[in-house]
């Protein structure tokens, strides 16, 4: 008889030497006592959450943590990418200092990618580093942002420009939390799930195509497989290149165009996953124009992005503005934009492209 899903049926290991950790994937994990065993000992813990997720899940997490810490504090941030900035980050530092938290205090990031990125950077920086645990409650955070140790805040001139590589002690993906996710956020998360197909695993792409309706209906076993396989691929890539010296950059497929959309419209206008979904369409068209893949392949992935409920046409910011925004992308070097392209189905690479070619893509993909 198979183990019930309420027991952590799945664990994916991120192998990074003395910074290795597990991703636990299952249902009922927030309330399960053994989810929280074996974390670093400390007098206090701080739950960092937001105004949307906090009311739904903070009490459950708090109850599970109380046996382990003398004091469990909480700080509630405003919700949304528009608040992924210094003043909001400083709310975490204020709470840590006001409560007398010390160098051993453990931070718990309860929320989506914004909460995870900010909590991670706060943990990296508070007293030059305290432990933290990711408890992602969105599909996007479970399959991508909570795994791999990238933490950051935005700067008015660029997304994720200020941050650190800093690994969590553990990632806890409780699939139950996806039940309350708005449909738009579910689709945004599917963008990062779909991403793993063209860059790494065509079998997974085929599985997503066959199961996209089940994912949109939030069937637990479909979600469990999507999260696990996504985390496995991310674990393989990050394990080989923690600090993005090379390979890891492929995980940014769609992100160079996507960041320009987010930044150009103002953070929060489009969800990050929506911008990435549309950015992947642009990156596929770029790959096609560079004659790396054929139109059928680009159309196939674009169709899946559309079926996931994501935008496939970008906002008309103007090609000059897109190019300007992309030149401050972190992958750019000496003013040269570097794009993640699909070299062949299931394999991605980093390439430069002439401005004219990029302008052609933008003309095709914006309106």
207 binds its own copies (CB under 8 A): no
Alpha carbon 314 to chain centroid, angstroms: 21
Burial of 26 (0-12, 13-18, 19+ CB in 10 A): buried
What x-and-dash track marks residues 223-262 binding its own copies by CB under 8 A?
Answer: --------------------x-------------------
Least distance in angstroms from the C-beta of 158 to its own copies = 6
Compute the distance between CA of residue 357 and CA of residue 289 in angstroms, rounded to an integer. Answer: 7
Residue number with CB closer to its own copies (21 or 166): 166
How many residues interact with its own copies (rule CB under 8 A)? 39
3-class DSSP state of 308: coil
Q: CB–CB of 272/185 below 8 Å?
A: no
Among 16, 19, 62, 93, binds its own copies (CB under 8 A): 93
Among 63, 66, 78, 103, binds its own copies (CB under 8 A): 103
Which residues are CB-neighbours of 8 under 8 A, at least 6 positions away? Answer: 24, 25, 26, 29, 32, 34, 35
Residue number with CB closer to its own copies (148 or 198): 148
Give ∠ CA 172-174-178 in degrees, rounded to 5: 130
Examine the residue annotation and report whether 192 is marked as an active-site residue of this protein: yes
Question: Token pair of 159, please?
Answer: 């997304």
Query: In which element (H, E) is residue 124 found?
Result: helix 113-125
Angstrom CA distances, 348 to 26, 164, 276, 351, stand at 30, 25, 16, 10
Pick the catalytic residue from 244, 262, 330, 338.
244
Q: Report strand pairing: 170-174 vs 21-26.
A: parallel
Compute the distance between CA of residue 43 and CA of residue 281 in angstroms, rounded to an integer. Answer: 48
334 binds its own copies (CB under 8 A): yes
Residue number with CB closer to its own copies (232 or 242): 242
Residue number with CB closer to its own copies (165 or 207): 165
Among 14, 32, 124, 261, binds its own copies (CB under 8 A): 124
Among 52, 330, 353, 365, binds its own copies (CB under 8 A): 330
Q: Report strand pairing: 21-26 vs 10-14.
A: antiparallel
19 binds its own copies (CB under 8 A): no
43 binds its own copies (CB under 8 A): yes
Pick the catalytic residue from 159, 170, 225, 234.
234
Contact residues for its own copies (CB under 8 A)? Answer: 43-44, 70, 86, 90, 93-94, 97-98, 100, 102-104, 124-129, 150-152, 155, 157-158, 161-165, 243, 327-328, 330-335
Write out the catalytic residue numbers: 128, 150, 192, 234, 244, 248, 252, 255, 259, 272
């Amino acid at each position: 008889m198979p183990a019930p899903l309420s027991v952590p049926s799945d664990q994916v290991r991120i192998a990074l030497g003395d910074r290795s950790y597990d991703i636990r994937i299952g249902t009922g994990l927030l309330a399960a006592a053994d989810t929280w065993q074996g974390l670093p000992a400390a007098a206090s813990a701080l739950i960092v959450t937001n105004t949307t997720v906090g009311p739904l899940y903070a009490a459950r997490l708090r109850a599970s943590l109380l046996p382990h810490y003398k004091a469990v504090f909480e700080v509630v941030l405003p919700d949304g990418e528009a608040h992924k900035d210094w003043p909001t980050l400083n709310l975490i530092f204020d709470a840590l200092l006001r409560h007398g938290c010390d160098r051993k205090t453990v931070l718990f990031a309860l929320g989506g990618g914004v909460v995870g990125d900010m909590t991670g950077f706060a943990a990296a920086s508070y007293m030059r580093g305290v432990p933290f645990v990711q408890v992602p409650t969105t599909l996007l955070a479970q399959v991508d942002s909570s795994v791999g140790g990238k933490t950051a805040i935005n700067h008015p001139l660029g997304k994720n420009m200020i941050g650190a590589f800093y690994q969590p002690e553990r990632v806890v993906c409780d699939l139950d939390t996806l039940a309350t996710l708005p449909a738009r956020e579910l689709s945004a998360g599917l963008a990062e799930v779909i991403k793993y197909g063209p860059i790494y695993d065509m079998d997974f792409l085929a599985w997503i195509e066959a199961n996209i309706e089940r994912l949109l209906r939030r069937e637990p076993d479909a979600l469990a497989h999507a999260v696990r396989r996504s985390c496995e691929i991310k674990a393989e890539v990050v394990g080989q290149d923690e600090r993005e010296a090379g390979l890891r950059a492929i995980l940014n497929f769609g992100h160079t165009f996507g960041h320009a959309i987010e930044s150009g419209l103002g953070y929060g206008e489009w969800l990050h996953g929506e911008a990435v979904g549309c950015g992947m369409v642009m990156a596929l068209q770029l790959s096609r124009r560079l004659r790396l893949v054929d139109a059928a392949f680009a159309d196939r992935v674009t169709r899946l992005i559309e079926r996931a409920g994501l935008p496939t046409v970008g906002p008309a910011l103007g090609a000059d503005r897109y190019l300007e925004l992309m030149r401050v992308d972190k992958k750019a070097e000496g003013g040269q934009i570097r794009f993640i392209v699909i070299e062949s189905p299931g394999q991605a690479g980093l390439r430069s492209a002439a401005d004219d070619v990029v302008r052609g893509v933008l003309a095709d993909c914006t309106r």
